[in-house]
Amino acid sequence: MKRVQNLLGHYLIHGFRVRPEPNGDLDLEAMVAVFGSKGLRIGNMALALGHNSVVLYDPVVGCILQDVPCTDRCTLSSACLIGDTWKELTIVAGAVSNQLLGLLATASEDRSVRIWKVGDLRVPGGRVQNIGHCFGHSARVWQVKLLENYLISAGEDCVCLVWSHEGEILQAFRGHQGRGIRAIAAHERQAWVITGGDDSGIRLWHLLGRGHPGSGVSALCFKSRSRPGALKAVTLAGSWRVLAVTDTGALYLYDLEVKCWEQLLEDKCFQSYCLLEAAPGPEGFGLCAMANGEGHVKVVPINTPTAAVDLTLFHGKVHSLSWALRGYEELLLLASGPGGVVACLEISAAPSGKAIFVKERCRYLLPPSKQRWHTCSAFLPPGDFLVCGDRRGSVLLFPSRPDLLKDLGVGGKVGAGTGALGTGSGSGGSENALAEWGPVSTLPSLHGKQGVTSVTCHGGYVYTTGRDGAYYQLLVRGGQLQPVLRQKSCRGMNWVAGLRMVADGSMVILGFHANEFVVWSPRSHEKLHIINCGGGHRSWAFSDTEAAMAFAYLKDGDVMLYRALGGCTRPHVILRESLHGREITCVKRVGTITLGPEFGVPSFMQPDHLEPTSEGPGLIDIVITCSEDTTVCILALPTATGSAHALTAVCNHISSVRAVAVWGTGTPGGPQDPRPGLTAHVVSAGGRAEMHCFTIMVTPDSSTPSRLACHDSGQQLQLLAETFHHKRCVLKVHSFTHEATNQRRRLFLCSTATDGSLAFWDLTTVLDHGSPALEPPADPGLPYRLGSPCLTLQAHSCGVNSLHTLPTREGHLVASGSEDGSLHVFVLTVEVPELEEAVGGAELVPQLQVLEEYSLPCAHAAHVTGLKILSPSLMVSASIDQRLTFWRLGHGEPTFMNSTVYHVADVADMDCWPVSPEFGHRCALGGQGLEVYNWYD
């Protein structure tokens, strides 16, 4: 039998629920609840009302059958109804709650989670007893889930906590941004938790249970009568061997498999001052180096310490040691001595494997500074250049071989002494044998006065970190270092110690946050590991492999070791990428990329030149969004799926990002070499009068979900001119060009203010040297002042929040939207005087005139925050009233076409563009979230 019934009118049905019977069978008269976008249809149902009462409601008749008020008259924020029939119904109200097996969990705005034991409320004496309370959140708790062995809570502090029923925190899931976690779901048998936050991200976490052995801090119990002296330095040779040196000059090894300390050697020359560094690699290459205050360096094979090699490199103190791997097998050791001299030693093993050879390869000379020694080093593949960071925060580029200096045309004196050095070799002969090479490129004080902490080479770029809380992406081009991008780490991490590239292609940042060592993921915005080590001013070492991650440090005279199985990554899955943690303030489309049939190689296409037969599934729109969370995101929006993929995020701003401008869209190779991809120049501006200019390049990458990858590089801005014509807050600026036959191409700027006025400026000759359009500044150090506007128009009664122009045959079509919900549309013409009309060789000043002017006073019920003229006959507007409205333009007043409701609240900006005749137009609206809407004419 088939029966069709209209339950929710014309609204979309999202799903239905069938109430199961107590015996688990479904009756023929089972109650079915159907819910949709605008309604709910069910049999008789119980409703908990905000004024603390429960009613039995008949939705068919539309009346209340019974009303049961509570004795306490108050306002409820939430309620939980328990029971299958009206006679057995129990209500728990006043807080977010969840019930299981006679236990009840509640969460409140007082930041607590409480567990209650619920008795039989139908009999006299039935009570609800508080059996425990949990305090661990730093803000309001919004969700709670009670499982058989766990209690899970989440709230406004963006943290999901896993508790035991006794109130002990077992796990803490951090990674969401913004204003909190709104939804949680859990499956105890599958041991996973899913969280959804205000940042639009959805993440899956694994429940590890109590006492998970995968990670933790343990003391290695170094203190013993058989091991005299105090510890001075510690390092890691791989993730399972720990090396430590004492003030008696003794070197000790701790093997995590054997779990005991072993003395490798003892040298009295390394008593008072000693540096200790292990060679890089998963097994540490089986080598470590020691240095003292008298210029001595000792290279020690860990497996055969009796084959150690001693060198005397300098007459003074060795300030720093660092290892550098050139290629895959060539291992070099760099040692900094007095006067900024850096000795480069080449280490090789004997054929028998029981001895090593050390040969001084060359010497480098650092630029003069107060603290003149290097702090880190790395070879740029294939090994032609050595990149060093020094104590004064500079990044230096050195050649790796003498003939490279001649290739670059850099003058320098190259010595010829490369003799092998052995035990007891004199320092004077070695210093005179080798000349000192200076850097071919320098970025002075890039990381501030605290110094550079690490240098990493990956994917053709150089990444540097420092104690200024930032990390840089650099590029070596033509033998010169060029800054590409500067990024800030997580908030509060002012000491960035290094970065690592993980297996999935992303990077993790290592650093110190107050007294904690933190491994932070820029991709997931999550602190993957947190170790309370006391800060980075003590001796510490970090090592990571695919099997495990290790962090060793000295504390209370002992070696403390933190190990985590699985390396730096965390065993959780990002089901949906987060977008922004706060409101989106601006949305701008960059361009369109068309993927091939196999989604392999994309190519750039202008939206106005799309073929009528272009297939929608191959189109990917590149969109830039900025937000109050201080980030600028580059997104890929495939036409077919409608999902958004975050390609990269720029986190350079220190305050809210309010506006974004895009220009110069093209291909990476230019018109002559149309390589696949897309490039564009971007300027972002925000709070604290901060602006950033950078270039983005989107290229194909089959390893990402969107098949695309994005790279960005920084640019510099220079203030040319300014004006204070409006004398109040300027809300919008928009530039457009005017082209006419036998006339110069002219550039105009339109600005709007809070008084509802529009001002038009001619910027054509602003960049010309000595232009009369610029007034000289009052002081030599100030920028030029822009002259008077060409036209001023009072279009609205209050602030203008949206503005757009479009060239037409008659002139330029200009549209604006205001805070009073009105729209203003007019046609602007540009008339340039003939050359013979200019008097005395004066510059020709264009005349702007308004031909047609129309106003729509009540176009929207709230602020108009988005406006776009799609064609001379079509315009779209968006407002805080959550309506997207399309208007027909032509001769006469704009006429209403249709309107649709969108779900994003407080829309701040909107962009709309044509996709293809098949897929119509696409609108992206940004506010408290991002919504993409397809419109078909």
| Cα distance between residue 276 and residue 297, in whole Å | 10
Return the pLDDT at 113: 92
Question: Cα separation of 159 and 162, whole Å?
Answer: 10
Taking the C-alpha atoms of residue 340 and residue 368, their distance in angstroms, rounded to an integer, is 7
For residue 871, the Cα-to-chain-centroid distance in whole angstroms is 36
Whether 175 is in a domain gets the answer yes
314 in a domain, yes or no?
no
| R_g of the chain computed on alpha carbons | 34
Cβ contact 529:568 at 8 Å = yes
Residue 772: asked if its preceding bond is cis (omega within 30°), the reply is no
- Residue 462 inside a domain? The answer is no
Spatial distance between the Cα atoms of 747 and 193, rounded to a whole number of angstroms: 56
Question: Do 208 and 92 fall within a single domain?
Answer: yes
pLDDT of residue 712: 65
Distance CA 123, CA 352 (A): 87
687 and 811 fall within a common domain: no
One domain, residues 870 and 762: yes
- Among the three residues 215, 246, 269, which one is the final residue of a domain in this structure? 215
Cβ–Cβ < 8 Å for 257, 584: no
In a domain, 242, yes or no: no
In three-state secondary structure terms, 340 is: helix
Q: Does residue 554 lie within any of the structural domains?
A: no
* Residue 866 within any structural domain of the chain: yes
Nearest residue to 132 (alpha-carbon basis) of 163, 159, 161: 163
How many CB atoms are closer than 10 A to CB 314? 23
Are 792 and 759 spatial neighbours (Cβ–Cβ below 8 Å)?
Answer: yes
* Domain's final residue, options 184, 215, 246: 215
Q: Are 100 and 146 spatial neighbours (Cβ–Cβ below 8 Å)?
A: yes
> Are 660 and 754 in a shared domain?
no
CA distance readout (Å), 190 to 147, 185, 206: 12, 12, 9
Q: Which residue, 439, 423, 316, is CA-closest to 367?
A: 439
Please give the average pLDDT of every successive group of 10 residues along the chain, which has 937 residues. 49 54 46 47 71 79 82 67 75 63 83 85 72 90 90 92 90 87 89 90 82 67 90 90 94 91 93 91 75 94 91 94 87 94 90 80 92 93 90 92 61 38 38 73 92 92 92 88 84 88 83 90 82 86 85 92 79 80 92 65 43 54 92 87 81 89 83 74 90 85 64 73 90 90 85 94 73 65 80 93 92 94 93 61 74 92 94 94 93 89 92 83 92 86
For the record, the structure tokens of 221 come out as: 């119990």
99 occurs within a structural domain: yes
Can you read off the two tokens belonging to residue 110? 């007082």
What lies within 8 Å, CB to CB, of 126 at 6+ separation is 119, 120
Same domain, yes or no: 747 and 660: no
Residue 36 is predicted with a pLDDT of: 46
Q: What is the domain count for the chain?
A: 3
The answer to whether residues 46 and 88 touch, using CB atoms and an 8 Å cutoff, is: no
Q: What is the DSSP string of 242-256?
A: EEEEETTSEEEEEET
Residue 506's nearest CA partner among 631, 646, 404 is 646
Q: Are residues 706 and 736 in the same domain?
A: no
Rounded CA gap, 240 and 256, in Å? 5
Provide CB contacts within 8 A for 412, sequence distance 6+.
405, 435, 437, 438
Within-domain flag for 365? no
Same domain for 814 and 668? no
CB distance 143 to 127 below 8 Å:
no
Determine the Cα–Cα distance for residues 48 and 374; give it in Å rounded to an integer: 69
63 with 197, same domain: the answer is: yes
Residue 871 sits in which domain range? 727-768+787-831+845-901
Give the type of residue at 195: T
Same domain flag for 625 and 748: no
- Residue 759 pLDDT: 94
Give the CATH number for residue 815: 2.130.10.10
Can you give the pLDDT at residue 153? Answer: 94
Separation between Cα atoms, residue 918 and residue 915, nearest integer Å: 8
689 in the same domain as 667: yes
> Given 197, 215, 233, which residue is the final one in a domain?
215
Indicate the pTM of the whole model: 0.73
Note whether 85 and 202 are same-domain residues: yes
Same domain membership, residue 675 and residue 588: yes
Q: Which residue has the tokens 């509640």?
A: 106
Per residue in 50-100, pLDDT (tens digit) is: 777 888 888 777 788 888 887 766 666 667 777 777 777 777 766 556 665
**Of the candidates 739, 744, 738, 766, which has an alpha carbon nearest to the alpha carbon of residue 835?**
744
Cα distance between residue 441 and residue 405, in whole Å: 12
